[in-house]
Every structure is written in C-alpha cells, then in structure tokens.
Amino acid sequence: MMNCREATQLMSESQERKLSLKESMSLGMHTMMCKGCHNYKQQMGTLRKITRAYAKGKNEQTEK
Amino acid sequence: MSANSNRQENTKQVGNLLADTSFLEDIRKQMIRFATLQLGDGHLAEDAVQDALIGALKNATSFGGRAALRTWVFAILKNKIADTLRHKQRVVNASSLLREEDEDEDFSELFDRKGFWQPDERPVAWGNPEGSLREAHFWRVFEACLDGLPPKQARVFMMREFIELDAEEICVAVDLTTSNLHVLLHRARLRLRECLENKWYLQGERNDELS
C-alpha cells in the first residue's frame, strides 16, 4: 500500500497536473483508510482558498 | 496592420483594461504582496509593481487579454525583483544564503521510517476554516507561517498560488525541472499546513501570541 508520504506528494501534485487513473485509484484507497491523509486532502483545498484570498487582499477587509 | 491602426487598437485595449479598475486593483495587490515578500521592503515593492504595470499596459497590443496581462506584469516584475535582489546580494548575510541552500530536509519529524504519519503529526480535522478568513489575527498567523518557509519554497509557492502561474511557466521562470518543482511545492504545502494547524487550529483558532 501507498504510504502517507507518497500520498501527500500525490495530493500536492494533483494541484499541478492530472493524476493517472492508477495514481488516483491508489490515492483514493489510501485516503479512505487513513484519517490523517483524509484530513490532509481537505486541508489542501482550504490552503489554496486561504492563499488566494490573501493574495487578493481579502485579509485587509477584516478588522485590525 | 499599419502603424496608425495599430496605435488605435492599442489605445482601445488599454482603455478597456484601465476601465476595469477592480481587475487592475486585484492584480496590483497580488503583485505587491508577492514583491514585498520577495524583496522584504514594502516601498521597493510598490515602486517595482507600479513600473511593471505601466510597462505592461504600454504594450497592451502584445498580449491578448486579462490572463495574459497578469503574466506580462509578472514577467516584468520578476525581472525587477531579480535585479533588486542581485544588488542586495552584497549586503545579504551568510545565514540567509545558507538557508537558501538548506532545502534537503527529510521530514523525519513528520513521517516515520516507513513513510506513515508520526502519531503526534497526523493531520486533525480543522474546525472552521472559512470562518478564520474573517479574523485579522488569523492572517497574522498565516503571514508568519509564510515567512517561515525556506526562500526557494516560498518563491515557487507564491508564483503558483499568488500569481496563479501554471507549473510549466514557473519551471521556465526559475529554471527548474518539473519534478523539482513538484518536490518544492509539496514541501511548502506540508510546512504551511503544519504551521497553520499548530499555530491556529490547535490553539482553539483564537490564540493571542505567536510563538
């Protein structure tokens, strides 16, 4: 089975390139069974959202 | 196309782009964040971004629309940043140069020998990720985490997520292979995620002190 280190690498790469069918299937299997990587996957989406909001100056709309 | 109609076309394009102030303002803010983090100086950054925007708009006919304008501004800005950094290099101290080299981390504090999460490093579910975005303190934590990235990782991460360049463009711009880029982005994301979890989400999402 794929380990967490490899799984996180693939989750990162999936933000730059389309994973192969084999890669997405083994990744899917892994995140189904691994709570940590399941959370990691959610957080990658959140991280992108946070960063893009920050780059667009959304943080300046909060009270200081 | 004659020089005259060319000029007219150019003026029209610039007019269209200038009319869309919120689009320009978005680009400007993105670029200033990027330049500030890369140069470590807000004033230098503002000047560089202003020059880059003017330079790009002057050549409006050379690009075909919004996405291309962003890429153009960034290309000019990147050169300016590179020049500025080259001049600064003489006063840069040895430790920050070393830091640049020191990117061969093994992440053994995150993963065990078989490559599975260390028990105390396993990602936990984050409480309310969207709600955090409205809190000023959250953004200070985020900035501190970004500042903590090794320079090379920070640079490519920001090119990818601030400027929204695609992988190929980044590889060309900073002379990296695709697999190098993947490794750098992966490391940046691992670190940022860990930092946000430790300094924000595990602190009840309302910590008062950055440590």
Give the pLDDT of chain B (211 residues) as one tens digit per residue.
566 666 666 666 667 766 777 878 888 888 888 888 777 788 889 999 999 988 888 776 666 666 677 778 888 888 888 777 666 644 444 444 444 444 556 688 899 999 999 999 999 999 888 888 888 889 889 989 998 898 889 888 988 998 788 898 888 877 889 999 999 999 999 999 999 999 988 887 554 444 3
Radius of gyration of chain B from its Cα atoms, rounded to whole angstroms? 20
pLDDT at B133: 84
Residues of chain A neighbouring B184 (CB-CB closer than 8 A): none
What's the CA dihedral at A44, A49, A52, A53 to 10 degrees? -150
Q: How far apart are CA B154 and CA B192, in angstroms?
A: 10
pLDDT at B198: 93
Q: Are B100 and B152 in contact (CB under 8 A)?
A: yes
Tokens of B158: 């920001």
Residue B94 distance to chain A (closest CA, Å): 30
Q: Are A53 and B138 in contact (CB under 8 A)?
A: no
Name the residue of chain B whose CA is nearest to A53's CA. Answer: B133
The pLDDT of residue A8 is above 80:
yes
Tokens of B18: 């200038």
DSSP string, B89-122: GGG--HHHHHHHH------TTTB-TTSPBPGGGS
Q: Are B111 and B181 in contact (CB under 8 A)?
A: no
Q: How far apart are CA B75 and CA B162, in angstroms?
A: 14
User: Which of B22, B182, B196, B205 is the best substitution to test chain A (most A C-beta atoms within 10 A)?
Assistant: B182
Cβ distance of B161 and A13 shorter than 8 Å = no
Residue pointed to by tokens 């290309």: B75
Q: ipTM of this predicted complex?
A: 0.93
Please indicate, yes or no, whether the overall pTM of this predicted structure exceeds 0.80. no
Residues of chain A neighbouring B166 (CB-CB closer than 8 A): 16
Spell A13-45 as b/e; 16+ CB within 10 A means b. Answer: bebbeeeeeebeebbeebbeebebbbbbbebbe
pLDDT at B202: 85
Name the residue of chain A whose CA is nearest to B122's CA. Answer: A36
Looking at this protein, which amino acid is placed at residue B177?
T
Closest CA to A12 of A33, A38, A40: A40
pLDDT at B155: 83
Residue B65, CA distances (Å) to B62, B94, B211 in order: 10, 43, 44
Cβ distance of B135 and A62 shorter than 8 Å = yes
Looking at this protein, which amino acid is placed at residue B202?
L
Name the residue of chain B whose CA is nearest to A4's CA. Answer: B116
pLDDT at B162: 83
Residue A40 distance to chain B (closest CA, Å): 6
Closest CA to B111 of A34, A15, A28: A34
Residues of chain B neighbouring A55 (CB-CB closer than 8 A): 29-30, 33-34, 158, 161-163
pLDDT at A41: 96
Asked whether the CA dihedral B122, B128, B133, B134 is positive or negative, the reply is negative
